[in-house]
Structure 1
Amino acid sequence: MTAPSPPRRPGGEALARIGHPVPAVDPADASPHAFPDGGTWRTEIPSVEGPEALAVVLKESARLEVPVHRISQGSGVWMLTDDEITGMVESCTERSIELCLFTGPRGTWDIGAGTRTESGGAGLRARGHDALAGCVEDALRAAGLGVRCLLVADEGVLWTLHRLRAAGRLPADTTFKLSALTGPVNPASYAVYERLGADSLNVPSDLTLDHLTEIRRVSRAPMDMYVESPDDLGGHIRMYEAAELIRRGAPIYLKFGLSRSPGIYPYGAQLREHTLATARERVRRGRLVLDLLARLGADGGMSPLGARVPGDLRRFPVPEGD
Protein backbone atom coordinates (compact mmCIF):
# COMPACT_ATOMS: atom_id res chain seq x y z
CA MET A 1 0.00 0.00 0.00
CA THR A 2 1.28 3.46 -0.89
CA ALA A 3 1.31 5.77 2.11
CA PRO A 4 -1.10 8.73 1.69
CA SER A 5 0.16 12.29 1.86
CA PRO A 6 0.60 13.50 5.44
CA PRO A 7 -2.38 15.48 6.75
CA ARG A 8 -2.06 19.14 7.52
CA ARG A 9 -0.55 19.67 10.96
CA PRO A 10 -2.78 21.49 13.50
CA GLY A 11 -1.77 25.15 13.45
CA GLY A 12 1.11 24.40 11.09
CA GLU A 13 0.45 26.98 8.41
CA ALA A 14 -0.17 29.81 10.86
CA LEU A 15 2.96 29.00 12.86
CA ALA A 16 5.08 28.82 9.70
CA ARG A 17 3.91 32.29 8.65
CA ILE A 18 5.37 33.82 11.80
CA GLY A 19 8.58 31.83 11.53
CA HIS A 20 7.84 29.42 14.34
CA PRO A 21 9.55 26.08 13.59
CA VAL A 22 7.18 23.22 12.80
CA PRO A 23 8.46 19.63 13.20
CA ALA A 24 8.81 17.84 9.89
CA VAL A 25 6.70 14.78 9.19
CA ASP A 26 8.78 11.66 8.67
CA PRO A 27 7.22 9.55 5.90
CA ALA A 28 8.93 6.49 7.38
CA ASP A 29 6.63 6.74 10.42
CA ALA A 30 3.51 6.03 8.35
CA SER A 31 1.96 2.61 8.81
CA PRO A 32 2.18 0.49 5.64
CA HIS A 33 -0.97 -1.44 6.59
CA ALA A 34 -4.69 -1.11 5.96
CA PHE A 35 -7.92 -3.02 6.39
CA PRO A 36 -8.74 -5.54 3.62
CA ASP A 37 -11.22 -3.04 2.14
CA GLY A 38 -8.38 -0.54 1.68
CA GLY A 39 -9.50 1.76 4.50
CA THR A 40 -7.11 2.90 7.17
CA TRP A 41 -9.60 3.72 9.93
CA ARG A 42 -12.97 2.82 11.34
CA THR A 43 -15.08 4.19 14.20
CA GLU A 44 -16.32 2.69 17.45
CA ILE A 45 -18.75 3.89 20.11
CA PRO A 46 -17.89 2.09 23.37
CA SER A 47 -19.84 1.56 26.62
CA VAL A 48 -23.22 1.04 24.94
CA GLU A 49 -24.68 -1.07 27.73
CA GLY A 50 -28.06 -2.22 26.45
CA PRO A 51 -30.90 -1.75 23.96
CA GLU A 52 -31.95 1.63 25.34
CA ALA A 53 -28.44 3.08 25.17
CA LEU A 54 -28.05 1.58 21.70
CA ALA A 55 -31.23 3.31 20.54
CA VAL A 56 -29.82 6.63 21.80
CA VAL A 57 -26.53 6.07 19.96
CA LEU A 58 -28.26 5.14 16.72
CA LYS A 59 -30.58 8.15 16.86
CA GLU A 60 -27.79 10.58 17.74
CA SER A 61 -25.37 9.18 15.14
CA ALA A 62 -28.03 9.66 12.47
CA ARG A 63 -28.76 13.20 13.65
CA LEU A 64 -25.10 14.23 13.75
CA GLU A 65 -24.13 12.15 10.71
CA VAL A 66 -21.49 10.18 12.59
CA PRO A 67 -20.60 6.97 10.71
CA VAL A 68 -20.32 4.01 13.10
CA HIS A 69 -18.56 0.75 12.26
CA ARG A 70 -18.65 -0.91 15.67
CA ILE A 71 -20.60 -0.58 18.90
CA SER A 72 -19.17 -2.23 22.02
CA GLN A 73 -20.51 -2.99 25.48
CA GLY A 74 -18.49 -3.30 28.67
CA SER A 75 -20.65 -4.86 31.38
CA GLY A 76 -20.72 -8.30 29.82
CA VAL A 77 -22.96 -10.84 28.12
CA TRP A 78 -24.17 -12.03 31.52
CA MET A 79 -25.78 -8.63 32.21
CA LEU A 80 -28.15 -8.92 29.24
CA THR A 81 -31.20 -11.13 28.66
CA ASP A 82 -31.57 -13.16 25.49
CA ASP A 83 -34.23 -10.77 24.25
CA GLU A 84 -31.98 -7.77 24.89
CA ILE A 85 -29.06 -9.35 23.03
CA THR A 86 -31.28 -10.38 20.13
CA GLY A 87 -32.75 -6.88 19.91
CA MET A 88 -29.29 -5.30 19.86
CA VAL A 89 -28.12 -7.74 17.18
CA GLU A 90 -31.13 -6.92 15.01
CA SER A 91 -30.76 -3.15 15.44
CA CYS A 92 -27.06 -3.25 14.55
CA THR A 93 -27.60 -5.61 11.63
CA GLU A 94 -30.23 -3.27 10.15
CA ARG A 95 -27.59 -0.52 10.07
CA SER A 96 -24.61 -2.71 9.12
CA ILE A 97 -22.88 -2.03 12.46
CA GLU A 98 -20.76 -4.63 14.23
CA LEU A 99 -21.91 -5.39 17.78
CA CYS A 100 -19.24 -6.42 20.30
CA LEU A 101 -20.15 -7.80 23.75
CA PHE A 102 -17.79 -8.46 26.69
CA THR A 103 -17.24 -12.03 27.87
CA GLY A 104 -17.55 -13.48 31.29
CA PRO A 105 -16.36 -13.25 34.86
CA ARG A 106 -13.51 -10.86 35.64
CA GLY A 107 -11.06 -10.76 38.48
CA THR A 108 -12.09 -7.24 39.45
CA TRP A 109 -15.60 -8.43 40.23
CA ASP A 110 -15.03 -11.78 41.96
CA ILE A 111 -14.01 -12.63 45.53
CA GLY A 112 -10.25 -12.40 44.93
CA ALA A 113 -8.60 -9.74 47.07
CA GLY A 114 -5.54 -9.29 44.85
CA THR A 115 -7.24 -6.93 42.44
CA ARG A 116 -8.11 -4.62 45.33
CA THR A 117 -4.54 -4.23 46.49
CA GLU A 118 -2.34 -1.31 45.54
CA SER A 119 -0.55 -3.45 42.94
CA GLY A 120 -3.80 -4.47 41.27
CA GLY A 121 -3.11 -8.19 41.44
CA ALA A 122 -4.16 -10.12 38.36
CA GLY A 123 -6.49 -7.43 37.12
CA LEU A 124 -9.40 -8.49 34.90
CA ARG A 125 -8.10 -12.00 34.24
CA ALA A 126 -10.42 -14.95 34.69
CA ARG A 127 -9.42 -16.58 38.01
CA GLY A 128 -9.62 -20.36 37.99
CA HIS A 129 -11.36 -22.89 35.78
CA ASP A 130 -14.88 -21.74 36.63
CA ALA A 131 -14.21 -18.16 35.52
CA LEU A 132 -12.64 -19.40 32.28
CA ALA A 133 -15.63 -21.67 31.73
CA GLY A 134 -17.97 -18.75 32.42
CA CYS A 135 -16.32 -16.76 29.65
CA VAL A 136 -16.74 -19.71 27.29
CA GLU A 137 -20.40 -19.99 28.28
CA ASP A 138 -20.91 -16.29 27.57
CA ALA A 139 -19.20 -16.61 24.18
CA LEU A 140 -21.28 -19.61 23.12
CA ARG A 141 -24.51 -17.99 24.28
CA ALA A 142 -23.79 -14.69 22.54
CA ALA A 143 -22.73 -16.41 19.31
CA GLY A 144 -25.90 -18.50 19.39
CA LEU A 145 -27.91 -15.27 19.51
CA GLY A 146 -26.10 -13.80 16.51
CA VAL A 147 -23.24 -11.84 18.10
CA ARG A 148 -20.09 -12.05 15.97
CA CYS A 149 -17.63 -9.93 17.97
CA LEU A 150 -16.56 -10.72 21.52
CA LEU A 151 -14.50 -8.63 23.94
CA VAL A 152 -11.84 -10.51 25.90
CA ALA A 153 -9.67 -9.43 28.85
CA ASP A 154 -7.60 -12.57 29.49
CA GLU A 155 -4.96 -14.24 27.31
CA GLY A 156 -6.08 -17.73 28.36
CA VAL A 157 -9.68 -16.96 27.49
CA LEU A 158 -8.55 -15.52 24.15
CA TRP A 159 -6.56 -18.62 23.24
CA THR A 160 -9.40 -20.91 24.35
CA LEU A 161 -11.99 -19.04 22.29
CA HIS A 162 -9.65 -19.02 19.29
CA ARG A 163 -9.29 -22.81 19.58
CA LEU A 164 -13.08 -23.15 19.75
CA ARG A 165 -13.35 -21.00 16.63
CA ALA A 166 -10.75 -23.10 14.83
CA ALA A 167 -12.62 -26.25 15.87
CA GLY A 168 -15.94 -24.92 14.54
CA ARG A 169 -17.54 -24.60 18.00
CA LEU A 170 -17.76 -20.85 17.42
CA PRO A 171 -18.68 -19.44 13.99
CA ALA A 172 -15.66 -18.95 11.75
CA ASP A 173 -16.53 -15.28 11.23
CA THR A 174 -16.47 -14.52 14.96
CA THR A 175 -13.88 -11.88 15.83
CA PHE A 176 -12.15 -11.30 19.17
CA LYS A 177 -11.35 -7.82 20.45
CA LEU A 178 -8.76 -7.42 23.21
CA SER A 179 -9.92 -5.16 26.04
CA ALA A 180 -8.32 -1.81 26.81
CA LEU A 181 -7.85 -3.09 30.34
CA THR A 182 -5.45 -5.76 29.06
CA GLY A 183 -3.96 -3.80 26.18
CA PRO A 184 -0.36 -4.55 25.17
CA VAL A 185 2.22 -1.80 25.63
CA ASN A 186 5.09 -3.03 23.45
CA PRO A 187 5.52 -4.59 20.00
CA ALA A 188 6.35 -8.08 21.31
CA SER A 189 3.24 -8.36 23.48
CA TYR A 190 1.09 -6.98 20.65
CA ALA A 191 2.39 -9.68 18.31
CA VAL A 192 1.76 -12.40 20.94
CA TYR A 193 -1.88 -11.39 21.39
CA GLU A 194 -2.34 -11.43 17.62
CA ARG A 195 -1.00 -14.98 17.53
CA LEU A 196 -3.28 -16.01 20.40
CA GLY A 197 -6.30 -15.13 18.27
CA ALA A 198 -6.99 -11.41 18.67
CA ASP A 199 -8.55 -9.75 15.62
CA SER A 200 -8.27 -6.21 17.00
CA LEU A 201 -6.27 -5.04 19.97
CA ASN A 202 -7.06 -2.12 22.23
CA VAL A 203 -3.83 -0.39 23.19
CA PRO A 204 -3.64 1.96 26.17
CA SER A 205 -4.28 5.57 25.24
CA ASP A 206 -1.06 6.75 26.84
CA LEU A 207 1.13 5.09 24.20
CA THR A 208 3.18 7.61 22.25
CA LEU A 209 3.05 8.00 18.48
CA ASP A 210 6.48 6.40 18.31
CA HIS A 211 5.11 3.41 20.22
CA LEU A 212 2.44 2.96 17.54
CA THR A 213 5.08 3.04 14.82
CA GLU A 214 7.09 0.40 16.68
CA ILE A 215 4.03 -1.85 16.88
CA ARG A 216 3.33 -1.44 13.18
CA ARG A 217 6.81 -2.72 12.35
CA VAL A 218 5.87 -6.15 13.73
CA SER A 219 2.09 -6.53 13.26
CA ARG A 220 -0.70 -5.50 10.91
CA ALA A 221 -3.49 -6.61 13.30
CA PRO A 222 -6.12 -3.86 13.63
CA MET A 223 -5.61 -1.51 16.56
CA ASP A 224 -8.31 0.05 18.76
CA MET A 225 -7.55 3.30 20.53
CA TYR A 226 -9.54 5.76 22.61
CA VAL A 227 -9.20 9.24 21.16
CA GLU A 228 -10.69 10.22 24.52
CA SER A 229 -10.41 7.65 27.28
CA PRO A 230 -12.53 7.13 30.40
CA ASP A 231 -11.07 8.33 33.69
CA ASP A 232 -10.31 4.79 34.87
CA LEU A 233 -8.10 4.41 31.79
CA GLY A 234 -6.35 7.73 32.33
CA GLY A 235 -8.83 10.28 30.99
CA HIS A 236 -6.53 11.13 28.07
CA ILE A 237 -7.89 13.44 25.36
CA ARG A 238 -5.95 13.11 22.11
CA MET A 239 -8.34 14.73 19.68
CA TYR A 240 -5.68 16.86 18.00
CA GLU A 241 -3.59 13.75 17.39
CA ALA A 242 -6.37 11.86 15.62
CA ALA A 243 -4.91 12.34 12.14
CA GLU A 244 -1.49 11.21 13.28
CA LEU A 245 -2.98 8.27 15.18
CA ILE A 246 -4.45 7.12 11.87
CA ARG A 247 -1.24 7.74 9.92
CA ARG A 248 0.89 5.84 12.40
CA GLY A 249 -1.56 3.23 13.71
CA ALA A 250 -3.51 2.12 10.63
CA PRO A 251 -5.52 -0.01 10.43
CA ILE A 252 -7.13 1.55 13.48
CA TYR A 253 -10.51 1.90 15.17
CA LEU A 254 -10.97 5.39 16.63
CA LYS A 255 -12.92 4.98 19.85
CA PHE A 256 -14.96 7.90 21.11
CA GLY A 257 -14.87 7.55 24.88
CA LEU A 258 -15.67 10.07 27.57
CA SER A 259 -13.54 11.49 30.36
CA ARG A 260 -14.70 13.28 33.52
CA SER A 261 -17.55 10.83 33.86
CA PRO A 262 -18.22 8.17 36.53
CA GLY A 263 -17.90 4.53 35.46
CA ILE A 264 -21.00 2.51 34.57
CA TYR A 265 -19.80 -1.12 34.78
CA PRO A 266 -21.64 -3.31 35.57
CA TYR A 267 -24.63 -1.42 34.24
CA GLY A 268 -28.06 -1.51 35.85
CA ALA A 269 -31.23 0.59 35.85
CA GLN A 270 -29.89 2.65 38.77
CA LEU A 271 -27.44 4.18 36.27
CA ARG A 272 -29.97 4.69 33.49
CA GLU A 273 -30.03 8.47 33.11
CA HIS A 274 -26.27 8.80 33.38
CA THR A 275 -25.69 5.98 30.89
CA LEU A 276 -28.05 7.43 28.29
CA ALA A 277 -26.57 10.90 28.68
CA THR A 278 -23.02 9.63 28.27
CA ALA A 279 -24.01 7.49 25.27
CA ARG A 280 -25.36 10.61 23.59
CA GLU A 281 -22.23 12.62 24.42
CA ARG A 282 -19.88 9.91 23.07
CA VAL A 283 -21.49 10.31 19.67
CA ARG A 284 -21.08 14.09 19.90
CA ARG A 285 -17.40 13.61 20.74
CA GLY A 286 -17.15 11.50 17.60
CA ARG A 287 -18.62 14.34 15.54
CA LEU A 288 -15.98 16.70 16.94
CA VAL A 289 -13.17 14.32 15.97
CA LEU A 290 -14.58 13.84 12.46
CA ASP A 291 -14.90 17.59 11.99
CA LEU A 292 -11.28 18.06 13.03
CA LEU A 293 -10.10 15.36 10.64
CA ALA A 294 -11.98 17.12 7.84
CA ARG A 295 -10.36 20.48 8.66
CA LEU A 296 -6.93 18.83 8.53
CA GLY A 297 -7.64 17.09 5.24
CA ALA A 298 -7.34 13.72 6.97
CA ASP A 299 -10.91 12.44 6.73
CA GLY A 300 -10.22 10.27 3.67
CA GLY A 301 -9.42 6.60 3.93
CA MET A 302 -12.31 5.56 6.16
CA SER A 303 -13.51 1.99 5.62
CA PRO A 304 -16.96 1.68 4.04
CA LEU A 305 -19.78 1.30 6.53
CA GLY A 306 -20.49 -2.34 7.28
CA ALA A 307 -16.83 -3.34 7.00
CA ARG A 308 -15.72 -5.64 9.82
CA VAL A 309 -13.20 -8.12 8.37
CA PRO A 310 -9.74 -7.78 10.00
CA GLY A 311 -7.76 -9.46 7.23
CA ASP A 312 -5.28 -12.33 7.34
CA LEU A 313 -3.48 -12.41 10.69
CA ARG A 314 -0.71 -14.57 12.12
CA ARG A 315 -1.63 -17.27 14.63
CA PHE A 316 0.08 -19.84 16.80
CA PRO A 317 -0.62 -23.38 15.51
CA VAL A 318 -3.72 -24.87 17.14
CA PRO A 319 -2.90 -28.28 18.72
CA GLU A 320 -4.16 -31.28 16.80
CA GLY A 321 -7.25 -32.87 18.30
CA ASP A 322 -8.84 -29.57 19.36
Structure 2
Amino acid sequence: RAVLEEAEKQQVLIHRVSQGSGIMLMTDAEIREMVKLGAEAGIEVSLFVGPRAAWDTGAQITASAGKNLGARLRGMDQVVYAVEDIKRANALGIRSVLVADEGLMWLVLEMKKAGELPADFVVKVSVQMGAANPISVRMMEQLGAGTYNTPTDLSLPQLAAIRQAIHIPLDIYVEVPDDFGGFVRHYEVPEMIRVAAPMYVKLGLRNSPNIYPSGVHVEPTAIALSRERVHRAAIALDMIRRYYPEATTSKRGAPDLGIPVV
Protein backbone atom coordinates (compact mmCIF):
# COMPACT_ATOMS: atom_id res chain seq x y z
CA ARG A 1 0.00 0.00 0.00
CA ALA A 2 2.85 2.40 0.86
CA VAL A 3 4.46 1.73 -2.54
CA LEU A 4 1.24 2.55 -4.39
CA GLU A 5 0.68 5.72 -2.37
CA GLU A 6 4.24 6.90 -2.98
CA ALA A 7 4.05 6.00 -6.68
CA GLU A 8 1.00 8.24 -7.07
CA LYS A 9 2.74 11.03 -5.19
CA GLN A 10 5.95 10.72 -7.25
CA GLN A 11 4.07 10.08 -10.52
CA VAL A 12 5.99 6.84 -11.08
CA LEU A 13 4.57 3.91 -13.04
CA ILE A 14 5.28 0.72 -11.10
CA HIS A 15 5.03 -2.58 -12.98
CA ARG A 16 5.91 -5.06 -10.25
CA VAL A 17 6.15 -5.23 -6.48
CA SER A 18 8.09 -8.13 -4.96
CA GLN A 19 8.12 -9.30 -1.36
CA GLY A 20 10.99 -11.31 0.07
CA SER A 21 9.77 -12.66 3.39
CA GLY A 22 7.97 -15.52 1.74
CA ILE A 23 4.48 -16.80 1.22
CA MET A 24 4.67 -19.02 4.31
CA LEU A 25 4.98 -15.97 6.60
CA MET A 26 1.79 -14.33 5.30
CA THR A 27 -1.77 -15.11 6.36
CA ASP A 28 -4.45 -15.78 3.78
CA ALA A 29 -6.01 -12.43 4.63
CA GLU A 30 -2.73 -10.59 4.02
CA ILE A 31 -2.24 -12.29 0.67
CA ARG A 32 -5.83 -11.54 -0.36
CA GLU A 33 -5.24 -7.87 0.47
CA MET A 34 -2.11 -7.80 -1.71
CA VAL A 35 -4.04 -9.56 -4.49
CA LYS A 36 -6.78 -6.93 -4.30
CA LEU A 37 -4.33 -4.02 -4.31
CA GLY A 38 -2.32 -5.47 -7.20
CA ALA A 39 -5.38 -6.25 -9.30
CA GLU A 40 -6.84 -2.77 -8.77
CA ALA A 41 -3.53 -1.10 -9.65
CA GLY A 42 -2.77 -3.40 -12.60
CA ILE A 43 0.65 -4.38 -11.26
CA GLU A 44 2.37 -7.71 -10.73
CA VAL A 45 2.70 -8.91 -7.15
CA SER A 46 5.57 -11.39 -6.86
CA LEU A 47 5.95 -13.29 -3.60
CA PHE A 48 9.10 -15.20 -2.66
CA VAL A 49 8.63 -18.89 -1.99
CA GLY A 50 9.08 -19.14 1.78
CA PRO A 51 11.24 -22.17 2.62
CA ARG A 52 14.97 -21.69 2.04
CA ALA A 53 18.27 -23.03 3.35
CA ALA A 54 19.09 -19.77 5.15
CA TRP A 55 16.16 -20.31 7.52
CA ASP A 56 16.62 -24.06 7.92
CA THR A 57 18.61 -26.01 10.51
CA GLY A 58 21.67 -26.77 8.37
CA ALA A 59 25.10 -25.38 9.22
CA GLN A 60 26.77 -24.88 5.82
CA ILE A 61 24.85 -21.65 5.20
CA THR A 62 26.50 -20.13 8.28
CA ALA A 63 30.01 -20.83 6.95
CA SER A 64 31.81 -18.11 4.98
CA ALA A 65 31.83 -20.23 1.82
CA GLY A 66 28.24 -21.41 2.18
CA LYS A 67 26.25 -18.20 2.11
CA ASN A 68 25.44 -18.55 -1.60
CA LEU A 69 23.23 -21.52 -0.69
CA GLY A 70 20.85 -19.34 1.31
CA ALA A 71 17.87 -19.30 -1.04
CA ARG A 72 18.14 -22.93 -2.18
CA LEU A 73 15.77 -25.68 -1.14
CA ARG A 74 17.49 -28.10 1.21
CA GLY A 75 16.17 -31.66 0.97
CA MET A 76 12.89 -32.99 -0.39
CA ASP A 77 10.89 -31.72 2.58
CA GLN A 78 11.67 -28.14 1.59
CA VAL A 79 10.67 -28.88 -2.01
CA VAL A 80 7.29 -30.09 -0.73
CA TYR A 81 6.93 -27.01 1.49
CA ALA A 82 7.80 -24.75 -1.45
CA VAL A 83 5.19 -26.38 -3.69
CA GLU A 84 2.59 -25.99 -0.94
CA ASP A 85 3.51 -22.30 -0.72
CA ILE A 86 3.01 -21.86 -4.46
CA LYS A 87 -0.27 -23.79 -4.55
CA ARG A 88 -1.69 -21.69 -1.70
CA ALA A 89 -0.61 -18.41 -3.28
CA ASN A 90 -2.09 -19.44 -6.62
CA ALA A 91 -5.39 -20.43 -5.00
CA LEU A 92 -5.56 -16.98 -3.37
CA GLY A 93 -5.02 -15.19 -6.70
CA ILE A 94 -1.25 -14.63 -6.88
CA ARG A 95 0.15 -15.15 -10.38
CA SER A 96 3.89 -14.56 -9.82
CA VAL A 97 6.44 -16.10 -7.48
CA LEU A 98 10.11 -15.48 -6.76
CA VAL A 99 12.23 -18.62 -7.05
CA ALA A 100 15.92 -19.32 -6.41
CA ASP A 101 16.21 -23.06 -6.98
CA GLU A 102 16.55 -24.78 -10.37
CA GLY A 103 14.70 -27.89 -9.27
CA LEU A 104 11.70 -25.85 -8.15
CA MET A 105 11.74 -23.95 -11.44
CA TRP A 106 11.56 -27.23 -13.37
CA LEU A 107 8.80 -28.53 -11.10
CA VAL A 108 6.70 -25.39 -11.57
CA LEU A 109 7.15 -25.71 -15.34
CA GLU A 110 5.89 -29.31 -15.18
CA MET A 111 2.95 -28.23 -13.02
CA LYS A 112 2.02 -25.63 -15.63
CA LYS A 113 2.23 -28.24 -18.39
CA ALA A 114 -0.03 -30.54 -16.36
CA GLY A 115 -2.58 -27.78 -15.77
CA GLU A 116 -1.94 -27.68 -12.03
CA LEU A 117 -0.89 -24.03 -12.33
CA PRO A 118 -2.13 -21.44 -14.84
CA ALA A 119 -0.21 -21.25 -18.11
CA ASP A 120 0.44 -17.54 -17.51
CA PHE A 121 1.84 -18.09 -13.99
CA VAL A 122 5.10 -16.08 -13.85
CA VAL A 123 8.31 -17.44 -12.36
CA LYS A 124 10.59 -14.55 -11.46
CA VAL A 125 14.11 -15.85 -10.82
CA SER A 126 15.87 -14.28 -7.85
CA VAL A 127 19.24 -12.54 -7.99
CA GLN A 128 20.35 -15.24 -5.56
CA MET A 129 20.30 -17.86 -8.32
CA GLY A 130 23.61 -16.43 -9.50
CA ALA A 131 23.77 -17.48 -13.18
CA ALA A 132 26.08 -14.87 -14.71
CA ASN A 133 26.75 -15.80 -18.34
CA PRO A 134 24.64 -16.19 -21.49
CA ILE A 135 24.64 -20.00 -21.48
CA SER A 136 23.61 -20.31 -17.83
CA VAL A 137 20.84 -17.71 -18.13
CA ARG A 138 19.56 -19.40 -21.28
CA MET A 139 19.31 -22.61 -19.27
CA MET A 140 17.22 -20.70 -16.72
CA GLU A 141 14.89 -19.64 -19.54
CA GLN A 142 14.58 -23.24 -20.71
CA LEU A 143 13.70 -24.31 -17.16
CA GLY A 144 10.76 -21.91 -17.16
CA ALA A 145 12.07 -18.53 -15.99
CA GLY A 146 9.66 -15.75 -16.92
CA THR A 147 12.11 -13.01 -15.94
CA TYR A 148 15.70 -13.30 -14.71
CA ASN A 149 17.39 -11.12 -12.10
CA THR A 150 21.04 -10.86 -13.12
CA PRO A 151 23.86 -10.68 -10.56
CA THR A 152 24.29 -7.12 -9.36
CA ASP A 153 27.85 -6.54 -10.58
CA LEU A 154 27.64 -7.41 -14.29
CA SER A 155 29.11 -4.87 -16.71
CA LEU A 156 27.18 -3.44 -19.65
CA PRO A 157 29.00 -5.72 -22.16
CA GLN A 158 28.21 -8.73 -19.99
CA LEU A 159 24.53 -7.75 -19.83
CA ALA A 160 24.51 -7.22 -23.60
CA ALA A 161 25.92 -10.70 -24.17
CA ILE A 162 23.20 -12.26 -22.02
CA ARG A 163 20.53 -10.34 -23.93
CA GLN A 164 21.75 -11.85 -27.21
CA ALA A 165 21.15 -15.37 -25.88
CA ILE A 166 17.66 -15.09 -24.36
CA HIS A 167 14.18 -13.77 -25.04
CA ILE A 168 12.79 -13.19 -21.53
CA PRO A 169 13.05 -9.81 -19.74
CA LEU A 170 15.96 -9.18 -17.42
CA ASP A 171 15.59 -7.70 -13.94
CA ILE A 172 18.59 -5.45 -13.36
CA TYR A 173 19.45 -3.83 -10.04
CA VAL A 174 20.26 -0.14 -10.45
CA GLU A 175 20.72 0.44 -6.75
CA VAL A 176 21.83 -2.57 -4.77
CA PRO A 177 21.35 -3.45 -1.08
CA ASP A 178 24.60 -3.50 0.88
CA ASP A 179 24.56 -7.27 1.33
CA PHE A 180 24.46 -7.68 -2.46
CA GLY A 181 27.28 -5.24 -3.20
CA GLY A 182 25.92 -1.76 -2.47
CA PHE A 183 26.34 -0.45 -6.04
CA VAL A 184 24.59 2.75 -7.15
CA ARG A 185 24.36 2.77 -10.97
CA HIS A 186 21.71 5.33 -11.87
CA TYR A 187 23.72 6.97 -14.65
CA GLU A 188 24.05 3.59 -16.35
CA VAL A 189 20.29 3.06 -16.67
CA PRO A 190 19.92 4.53 -20.19
CA GLU A 191 22.73 2.37 -21.54
CA MET A 192 21.41 -0.68 -19.69
CA ILE A 193 18.15 -0.19 -21.57
CA ARG A 194 19.94 0.18 -24.90
CA VAL A 195 21.90 -3.06 -24.54
CA ALA A 196 19.64 -5.24 -22.38
CA ALA A 197 15.98 -4.36 -23.01
CA PRO A 198 13.43 -5.71 -22.45
CA MET A 199 14.35 -5.20 -18.82
CA TYR A 200 12.91 -4.15 -15.50
CA VAL A 201 14.74 -1.42 -13.59
CA LYS A 202 15.02 -2.77 -10.07
CA LEU A 203 15.65 -0.58 -7.04
CA GLY A 204 17.09 -1.78 -3.79
CA LEU A 205 18.63 0.67 -1.34
CA ARG A 206 22.18 1.13 -0.24
CA ASN A 207 22.71 1.97 3.45
CA SER A 208 19.66 0.03 4.57
CA PRO A 209 19.16 -3.00 6.83
CA ASN A 210 18.17 -6.47 5.70
CA ILE A 211 14.60 -6.70 6.99
CA TYR A 212 13.75 -10.28 6.02
CA PRO A 213 11.80 -11.94 7.41
CA SER A 214 9.74 -8.80 7.90
CA GLY A 215 6.82 -8.23 10.26
CA VAL A 216 5.26 -5.77 12.69
CA HIS A 217 8.54 -5.65 14.65
CA VAL A 218 10.22 -3.84 11.70
CA GLU A 219 7.15 -2.44 9.95
CA PRO A 220 8.06 1.29 10.19
CA THR A 221 11.46 0.55 8.64
CA ALA A 222 9.94 -1.61 5.90
CA ILE A 223 7.45 1.12 4.98
CA ALA A 224 10.14 3.81 4.94
CA LEU A 225 12.37 1.66 2.72
CA SER A 226 9.47 1.00 0.34
CA ARG A 227 8.70 4.69 -0.04
CA GLU A 228 12.36 5.55 -0.65
CA ARG A 229 12.63 2.89 -3.33
CA VAL A 230 9.83 4.64 -5.22
CA HIS A 231 11.73 7.91 -4.83
CA ARG A 232 14.82 6.22 -6.29
CA ALA A 233 12.65 4.97 -9.16
CA ALA A 234 11.64 8.57 -9.86
CA ILE A 235 15.34 9.46 -10.07
CA ALA A 236 15.93 6.61 -12.53
CA LEU A 237 13.01 7.80 -14.65
CA ASP A 238 14.49 11.28 -14.77
CA MET A 239 17.76 9.76 -16.02
CA ILE A 240 15.92 7.90 -18.76
CA ARG A 241 13.99 10.98 -19.89
CA ARG A 242 17.17 13.06 -19.90
CA TYR A 243 19.55 10.66 -21.65
CA TYR A 244 17.35 8.23 -23.57
CA PRO A 245 14.05 10.01 -24.24
CA GLU A 246 13.15 7.67 -27.11
CA ALA A 247 13.05 4.65 -24.79
CA THR A 248 9.58 3.18 -24.38
CA THR A 249 8.01 1.85 -21.20
CA SER A 250 5.45 -0.93 -21.00
CA LYS A 251 1.98 0.33 -20.25
CA ARG A 252 0.23 -0.35 -16.98
CA GLY A 253 -1.13 -3.89 -16.94
CA ALA A 254 1.14 -5.17 -19.74
CA PRO A 255 0.10 -8.68 -20.88
CA ASP A 256 3.29 -10.43 -19.72
CA LEU A 257 2.87 -9.31 -16.10
CA GLY A 258 1.65 -11.74 -13.45
CA ILE A 259 -1.16 -9.49 -12.28
CA PRO A 260 -3.16 -11.01 -9.40
CA VAL A 261 -6.62 -12.41 -10.04
CA VAL A 262 -9.39 -11.56 -7.59
Provide TM-score, normalisation by structure 2.
0.95
Closer/same/farther in 2, CA of residues 64 and 299 from structure 1, 3 Å limit: farther
Displacement of 1:308 in angstroms is 4.4
Q: Percent identity?
A: 45
Task: Give the conservation status (yes or no) of the 8 Å contact 1:258–1:278.
Answer: yes
2:130 equivalent in structure 1: 183
Equivalent of 2:46 in 100, 113, 119: 100
Letter of the aligned partner of 2:45 in structure 1? L
Q: What does residue 19 of structure 2 align with?
A: 73
- RMSD value, Cα: 1.1
Distance (whole Å) between structure 1 residues aligned to residue 246 and residue 74 of structure 2: 43
Q: What secondary structure sits across from 2:165 in the alignment?
A: coil
Q: Which residue of 2 aligns with 1:63?
A: 9
| Distance in 1 of aligned mates of 2:255 and 2:95 | 10
What's 2:256 paired with? 309
CA shift, 1:292, in A, is 1.4
Q: In the TM superposition, what is the alpha-carbon distance from 1:300 to its structure 2 partner?
A: 2.9
Aligned length, in residue pairs: 256
1:221-279 alpha-carbon deviations (Å, 9 max, x no partner): 11001110111111111100000111111110101111110001001111011111111
Point out the more displaced range, 232-241 or 212-221.
Answer: 212-221
Distance 2:208 2:48 in 1: 21
User: Equivalents in 1 of 2:246, 2:4: separation in Å?
Assistant: 21
Richer in helix (by share): 2
Q: What does residue range 32-43 of structure 1 map to in structure 2 within 5 Å?
A: none
Gaps of 5+ in 1: 1-54, 311-322
1:217 to partner: Cα distance: 1.9
Alignment CA distance shift 1:107-1:295 (3 Å) = same
Post-superposition Cα deviations, 1:140-190, rounded to whole Å, max 9, x if no partner, equal: 000000000010010001111111111110111101000011131111110
1: CA distance between counterparts of 2:57 and 2:89?
Answer: 25
For residue 62 of structure 1, what is the amino acid of its counterpart? E
Give the one of 172, 183, 187 matched to 1:240.
187
- 1:160-179 aligned at under 5 Å gives the runs 160-179=107-126
Q: How far does the alpha carbon of each residue in 1:95-154 deviate from its partner, in whole angstroms, 9 at most, with x for none?
A: 101110011310111011111111116332100011001110000000000000010010
Structure 1 equivalent of residue 260 of structure 2: none
Preserved contact between residue 74 and residue 265 of structure 1 (Cα < 8 Å):
yes
2:238 to 278, 291, 316: 291
With over 3 angstroms needed to count, the CA separation of the structure-2 counterparts of 1:297 and 1:248, relative to structure 1, is closer
Correspondence for 1:273 among 203, 211, 220 = 220
Amino acid at match of 1:78: M
Residue 96 of structure 2, aligned match among 140, 149, 154: 149
- Flag the structure with larger Rg: 1
Query: Shift of the alpha carbon at 1:299?
Result: 5.9
Conserved in 1, the CA contact under 8 Å of 2:25 and 2:50? Answer: no
1:265 is paired with a residue whose SS is coil
The secondary structure found in structure 2 opposite 1:169 is coil
Normalization by structure 1: what TM-score?
0.78
Structure 1 runs, 4 residues or longer, greater than 4 Å off: none
